[in-house]
Amino acid sequence: MRQWIIISFVTIALIAKSDLADSQTFNNKKKDNYEVGVYYFPNYHVDKRNEAHFGKGWTEWELVKAAKPRFANHDQPKVPVWGYTDEADPKQMAKKIAAAASHGIDAFIFDWYYYDDGPFLERGLEEGFMKAKNNHLLKFSLMWANHDWEDIHPYTQGKPHKILYPGTITPATWDKMTDMIIERYFKHPSYWLIDGAPYFSIYELSKLQESFGSVEATAAALAAFRKKTIAAGFKDLNLNAVVWGNPILPGERSVTDPAALVKKLGFNSFTSYVWIHHVPLNDQVVPFDIVKKAYLQYAEKAIATFPMPYYPNASVGWDPSPRTDQNTPFNNSGYPYTNIIGGNTPGAFKQALIDVKKMMDKHNQKVITVNSWNEWTEGSYLEPDIVHKMKYLQAIKTVFGQENK
């Protein structure tokens, strides 16, 4: 009996040691499991609002096709390898999903538009992604792009800025919108959860406050959204704020003391949309590495200042000249007539990913946002063009791909 007991205790100890080893292996895998969310701008399908304004069949591909070099050595136009795809076609979206999933990307963060009179540009997500047969390979989430939608496709320098759809909404619209988000999107099996909580990002804090009238009322509206999400069976809601200091689009306004504001509003995390939200471009062409260095300085300061996790950003580039009237002089007179980033080669982008990853490891952070999958008319895209083909995607795979997860 004594011998059996001794053997049993030894067996239990070995099992416990084995379980501990398995647990440590699992934890180590999770520790290295970076999550890469890539912004997706869905203006490359036919939308009824666009057709009413620009004519039948219009998409932003028209601006990509019409782009010209605006100054010496300006690299325009950009030509997509896959052609001028229809992202609302689930078969064509499936190709994008497959390429993203096989190159280390975990989620598309759709720029998502909803106004007092309803949604805009939703077909890329709802008819393209959500009906693609392989959408189980990739997660998706929403960044509510609650900025004013202006007539800038293209914009002619000097003309008054015309708002087509205001970014502010009523509290009643917010309630209706968030109910729909939970039912239609959060409950989809491919929705992106971070630690069990649906990731929902909000682009413009100033417009958010304008919608509710005060910080207190805004905080209450966000808290109600969280309560509804938890009641729907989720662990929590990961409310994410896009924070920036340099406005880009016409009508954008930065907020004072964003660190204090996002805390008061109850956000769980914050991130960036694009590097130039933090780095002014003081020359016509600013080298990519200079912008990267300045962005990383901002990121370190933000991590030290804000009271919640920061999901750092990697940007592919910046050049909104396709959104300008191609027959007018090009100068730094305000969006989309802005200075650009140069030297944003796939190699430079890869090094930027490495540098951002080092900063993430330093602060034990595992989520990164990337600008962007397809901002073709802002010069920041991962989709293959005829010059670089799949090299930007390969950079993500090399730094954050499965072999590194």
pLDDT (tens digit, 9 = 90+) per residue, 298-321? Answer: 999 999 999 999 999 999 999 999
Query: pLDDT tens for residues 328-375?
Result: 999 999 999 999 999 999 999 999 999 999 999 999 999 999 999 999
Ramachandran region, residue 121 (left: φ > 0; alpha: ψ -120 to 50; beta: rest): left
State how far the Cα of 100 lies from the Cα of 106, in Å rounded to an integer. 8
Asked if the structure places residue 228 within a domain, the reply is: yes
Q: What are phi and psi of 113, to 5 degrees?
A: -115, 130
Cis peptide preceding 154, ω within 30 of 0: yes
200: nearest Cα among 214, 169, 221, 170: 221
- Indicate the pTM of the whole model: 0.91
Question: Following DSSP, what letter does each residue of 79-147 receive, concatenated?
Answer: -BTT-S--TTSHHHHHHHHHHHHTTT--EEEEEEEEETTEEES-HIIIIIITT-TTGGGSEEEEEE--S
Rounded to an integer, what is the distance from CA 344 to the centroid of its chain? 19
| CATH code of 275's domain | 3.20.20.80
Which single residue is written with the structure tokens 């010496």? 72
What single-letter DSSP state applies at residue 169?
Answer: -
Number of domains into which the chain is organized: 1
Asked if the structure places residue 21 within a domain, the reply is: no
State how far the Cα of 210 lies from the Cα of 172, in Å rounded to an integer. 14
Yes or no: say if 336 and 323 are a contact pair by the CB < 8 Å rule: yes
Asked if the structure places residue 344 within a domain, the reply is: yes
User: What's the pLDDT score for residue 183?
Assistant: 98
Q: What are phi and psi of 309, to 5 degrees?
A: -60, 145
Asked if the structure places residue 144 within a domain, the reply is: yes
Mean pLDDT for back-to-back runs of 10 residues, the chain (405 residues): 36 35 31 88 98 98 98 97 98 98 98 98 98 98 98 96 97 98 98 98 97 97 98 98 87 85 97 97 98 98 97 98 97 96 98 98 97 98 98 98 62
Question: In the chain, what percentage of residues exceed pLDDT 90?
Answer: 88
Asked if the structure places residue 83 within a domain, the reply is: yes
User: What's the pLDDT score for residue 309?
Assistant: 98
Asked if the structure places residue 28 within a domain, the reply is: no
Q: In sequence order, which residues have a C-beta less than 8 Å from that of residue 163 and are 6 or more positions away?
A: 148, 149, 150, 151, 251
**Domain span including residue 226:** 35-404
End-to-end CA distance of the chain: 48
Asked if the structure places residue 148 within a domain, the reply is: yes
Asked if the structure places residue 238 within a domain, the reply is: yes
